[in-house]
Structure 1
Amino acid sequence: MRDRKIAIVYDWMDSWGGVERMLLVLHEMFPEAQWYTSYVDYKKAAWIPDQVRDDRLKTSFMQGLPSFIKKSRILSLLFFPFAFESFDFRSYDTVISVTSSFAKSVITQPHTKHVCILLTPTRWLWGQGKSYELGVKSYWIMRPIIQFFIHYLKRWDVIVAQRPDKIISISQTVADRCRQYYNRESTVVYPPFDEEYWKSIKQEAVNNKHWIPNRVRDDKSDYFLVVSRLEPYKKVDLAIQAFNTFPDKKLIIVGKGTQGKKLKAMASHNIQFIQDVTDQELGVLYSQAEALIMPQEEDFGYVALEAQFFGCPVIAYGVGGACETIIDGKTGLLFYNQSVDALSDAVADFDHNKYNLEDQASIFEQFQKEKFIRAINTYI
């Protein structure tokens, strides 16, 4: 396998999250692979391995576009299709695209095998498009053009979804969407959860069980936790609105994104935002939290696994990937109406003492890193 020429294609590189952890495993598997992406923000993508950053990363013409276009998922829609089709993969044996957008649209020759790891069908076109409507309104002059282009993109997205030779979905939820929107069957391979790595972090958290990162204000009072990109589809606003009604309950929100300023403006005094935490700090935050709050519909839900690994139950919207990573009533509490009232009721009813996650170690078996590596090697 090492003598095969492999390319790894990802939508864009400007943040850190569960997907990026999976990309690092792919780099571990294929250290000589060439990487392609539409654009990269090196300051926000510090996770990129030095070997890739130095001489194994190619960007498209979008790298030279103004930052306000690249940061807007709406405006950038006009450029993504052309960006990925502009790459030349004729010299490669295998192309692995990792995408929740348009990386799957790369053009390959018959001798090149294209395996797509599908994070979800293009997010703002299918199912979760309403989460991005506010972004369209922000550019009201262009709104009619963008809406027409989105209609065209839906048709185009279905066509390019037929290009990969093999589609691997990261959850059964995503596989169902792939069948619904693209009329394609796919194989489910769960993203890798590196237990050995997190065990070392967990031991540090145990050793520092009376410590909370300095950036968390006041005392060591009980708190709930959100760990998320601050983007519309993550529905962090629901958590904020819910906890605005509980002035005696503390909420810590870990993350950053395009909605940061807006979300901070709507938060009351019992809600705190922090960002750029280390895994060590994150481990301590998980281990001391009452529960992790997940108000969004997840494709998979890597942070839910992280939280449970540290003994932190999860209060989650019971649709999508959460149903595959959380055992309702044992490792977390699911609510089934994505509303402020439903989340508020779940928080009010939640009792941390009812959950004993130390006895639920078996839930991580299907997400083992070794299983992911074996499966990917099988299909490429």
Structure 2
Amino acid sequence: MPHALVDSQVRYVHEWLTEWGGSEDVTRAMLQALPGAALHATIDFLSEANRAKFGGVPIRTTFLQQAPWARTRFWNYLPVTPLAVETHDLRGADVIVSSSHAFAKGVLTTAEQMHVSYVHSPMRYAWDLHHEYLADYRLDRGAKGLLARYMFHRLRQWDRQTANNVDLFLANSRHVQRRIWRTYRRVAQVLYPPVSVSRFRYEPAKGDHYVTVSRLVSYKRIDLLLAAFRAMPSRKLVVVGDGPEMPRLRAMCPPNVQLMGFQDDAVVQEQMGSARAFLFAAHEDFGISPVEAQACGTPVIAYGVGGSRETVRDLRTEVRPTGLLFDEQTPAALQAAVEAFDGAAVDPRDCRRWAEGFDEAVFRDRFRAIVEQAWSAWRRDPSSVEAALVPGGGLQSPPRELLA
């Protein structure tokens, strides 16, 4: 067994590669920080341009790659995805890093391999959002509903069991750290995901409009923003982004809200950089777009649950605030927050400085240092990794902050 991390063979495991998003960006940054011999994924249908972002590392897939309609109907294969993940052949690897929001952490490992799992979230549709997911897809009743409930029951069993194959959990926020404890009874170290702060130009001069940049899907709660601004006709809101919710949002859009649809980076920079504030009404595990807005020097008004509590410094409690959090996910609460924010003073420089703490370079340095420290502890005693890296790790009860 090699005695230095640089001599070790590292392999990465990702969920599925269908389109580029936040989890793919995390895997890309991890590969840059600590190159790997291969990247394993259940399927790979990325464009050549996106695939190149991984730096040419070989991508190895499973039998699902050849399954009928796997590109467009991958969710039909959910019941056999655990089996597909277990077919990843990781022999020869000393260090395995999984990027997991569902199945990737379930890879089979041996006693000679250290497994670090970066968890974006435990499987949401099997745990936290289980009942919402069943209702959204009309699987909450009848024979299909019974079958779906049994499938998710088995998935929960598999998900919890495979947590035993992980030597060290990394969580993308304290919010997810608490969910990992509740789901797996394991303590994780927090490592915030990388944000390309340098890609966003600092703009100290602000206009009079508010902005949000988002994929238009239901849980982003853009409908809440539109309802709030209908009650504030003297204020302007710009919504940048596209998605399946666009027809419904168009139908309810008030005159003082502009739905711009998808826009290129230059327009996003222009709108985000000149806005009075960036609005964020979703309940996210982390939420990258509010940090990008702060990189522009733009304050954020956000729903104060989940990752927003960690990425926005609330002007009600912080000395150098970067925005304002509202406590209820309702149009009235957002309206009250916007009106309260109008009389507030937030320095754009504080927003930029705060955002720089989430920069990609910070992530790469911390990720490599964590894996090196874990590898050193694992070589001394594989059972000591969690205790060596995480305060409270390896104990029967979690650190006090996880119970807060």
Match among 308, 327, 330 for residue 322 of structure 1: 308
What's 2:384 paired with? none
What's 1:107 paired with? 108
Give the superposition deviation at 1:310.
0.7
**1:225-275 deviations in whole A, cap 9, x for unaligned?**
222333343333322333344455443333344545554454445240422
What's 2:282 paired with? 296
Larger gyration radius, structure 1 or structure 2: 2
**1:1-22 deviations in whole A, cap 9, x for unaligned?**
4443222222223334443332
CA contact (8 A) 2:131 2:140 kept: no
How far apart are the structure 1 equivalents of 2:32 and 2:364?
Answer: 10
| Count of residue pairs the alignment pairs up | 358
Match among 26, 30, 50 for residue 26 of structure 1: 30
Could you say if the C-alpha distance between residues 238 and 162 of structure 1 is closer, same or farther in structure 2, counting changes exceeding 3 Å? farther
Question: Which 10-residue stretch deviates more, 370-379 or 261-270?
Answer: 261-270
CA contact (8 A) 1:132 1:232 kept: no
Match among 7, 17, 34 for residue 11 of structure 2: 7
What's 2:52 paired with? 49
Question: Which 10-residue stretch deviates more, 138-147 or 156-165?
Answer: 138-147
What is the DSSP-based 3-state SS (H/G/I as helix, E as strand, rest coil) of the residue aligned with 2:11? strand
Match among 353, 357, 362 for residue 348 of structure 2: 357
What is the DSSP-based 3-state SS (H/G/I as helix, E as strand, rest coil) of the residue aligned with 1:202? coil
Question: Which 10-residue stretch deviates more, 237-246 or 101-110?
Answer: 237-246
What is the DSSP-based 3-state SS (H/G/I as helix, E as strand, rest coil) of the residue aligned with 1:98? strand
Match among 274, 294, 302 for residue 261 of structure 2: 274
What's 1:347 paired with? 338
What's 2:272 paired with? 286
Give the superposition deviation at 1:50.
5.5
* Letter matched to residue 226 of structure 1: T
**1:51-81 deviations in whole A, cap 9, x for unaligned?**
65x66112233333424422x5xx4532322
What's 2:393 paired with? none
CA contact (8 A) 2:100 2:120 kept: yes
How far apart are the structure 2 equivalents of 1:352 and 1:65?
Answer: 57
Could you say if the C-alpha distance between residues 273 and 136 of structure 1 is closer, same or farther in structure 2, counting changes exceeding 3 Å? same
Gaps of 5+ in 2: 316-320, 372-404
Give the superposition deviation at 1:192.
2.8
With normalisation by structure 1, the TM-score equals 0.82
Question: Which 10-residue stretch deviates more, 54-63 or 92-101?
Answer: 54-63
1:46-125 correspondence to structure 2 within 5 Å: 46-49=49-52, 56-63=58-65, 64-66=67-69, 67-70=71-74, 72=75, 75-125=76-126
What is the DSSP-based 3-state SS (H/G/I as helix, E as strand, rest coil) of the residue aligned with 1:324? helix
Could you say if the C-alpha distance between residues 5 and 244 of structure 1 is closer, same or farther in structure 2, counting changes exceeding 3 Å? farther
CA contact (8 A) 1:136 1:146 kept: no
Could you say if the C-alpha distance between residues 342 and 290 of structure 1 is closer, same or farther in structure 2, counting changes exceeding 3 Å? same
Question: Which 10-residue stretch deviates more, 239-248 or 168-177?
Answer: 239-248
How far apart are the structure 1 equivalents of 2:365 and 2:271?
Answer: 32
* Letter matched to residue 295 of structure 1: A
How far apart are the structure 2 equivalents of 1:27 and 1:322?
Answer: 27
1:221-240 correspondence to structure 2 within 5 Å: 222-240=208-226
What's 2:201 paired with? 202
Could you say if the C-alpha distance between residues 32 and 274 of structure 1 is closer, same or farther in structure 2, counting changes exceeding 3 Å? same
* Letter matched to residue 11 of structure 1: E
What is the DSSP-based 3-state SS (H/G/I as helix, E as strand, rest coil) of the residue aligned with 2:40? strand
What is the DSSP-based 3-state SS (H/G/I as helix, E as strand, rest coil) of the residue aligned with 1:79? helix
* Letter matched to residue 275 of structure 2: A
* Letter matched to residue 48 of structure 1: R
Could you say if the C-alpha distance between residues 105 and 145 of structure 1 is closer, same or farther in structure 2, counting changes exceeding 3 Å? same
CA contact (8 A) 2:326 2:334 kept: yes
* Letter matched to residue 359 of structure 1: D
What is the DSSP-based 3-state SS (H/G/I as helix, E as strand, rest coil) of the residue aligned with 2:30? helix
How far apart are the structure 2 equivalents of 1:139 and 1:276?
Answer: 37
CA contact (8 A) 2:63 2:84 kept: yes
CA contact (8 A) 1:171 1:300 kept: yes
How far apart are the structure 2 equivalents of 1:30 and 1:170?
Answer: 18
Fraction of identical pairs, as percent: 29
What's 1:173 paired with? 175
Could you say if the C-alpha distance between residues 292 and 365 of structure 1 is closer, same or farther in structure 2, counting changes exceeding 3 Å? closer
Gaps of 5+ in 1: 211-220
What's 1:213 paired with? none
Question: Which 10-residue stretch deviates more, 121-130 or 347-356?
Answer: 347-356
What is the DSSP-based 3-state SS (H/G/I as helix, E as strand, rest coil) of the residue aligned with 2:137? helix
Could you say if the C-alpha distance between residues 287 and 352 of structure 1 is closer, same or farther in structure 2, counting changes exceeding 3 Å? farther
How far apart are the structure 1 equivalents of 2:235 and 2:132?
Answer: 27
Match among 303, 306, 322 for residue 331 of structure 1: 322
How far apart are the structure 1 equivalents of 2:37 and 2:211?
Answer: 37
RMSD, aligned α-carbons:
3.0
Could you say if the C-alpha distance between residues 90 and 322 of structure 1 is closer, same or farther in structure 2, counting changes exceeding 3 Å? same
Question: Which 10-residue stretch deviates more, 254-263 or 144-153?
Answer: 254-263
Could you say if the C-alpha distance between residues 313 and 268 of structure 1 is closer, same or farther in structure 2, counting changes exceeding 3 Å? same
How far apart are the structure 1 equivalents of 2:163 and 2:237?
Answer: 40
Could you say if the C-alpha distance between residues 291 and 68 of structure 1 is closer, same or farther in structure 2, counting changes exceeding 3 Å? same
CA contact (8 A) 2:33 2:367 kept: no
Give the superposition deviation at 1:334.
0.6
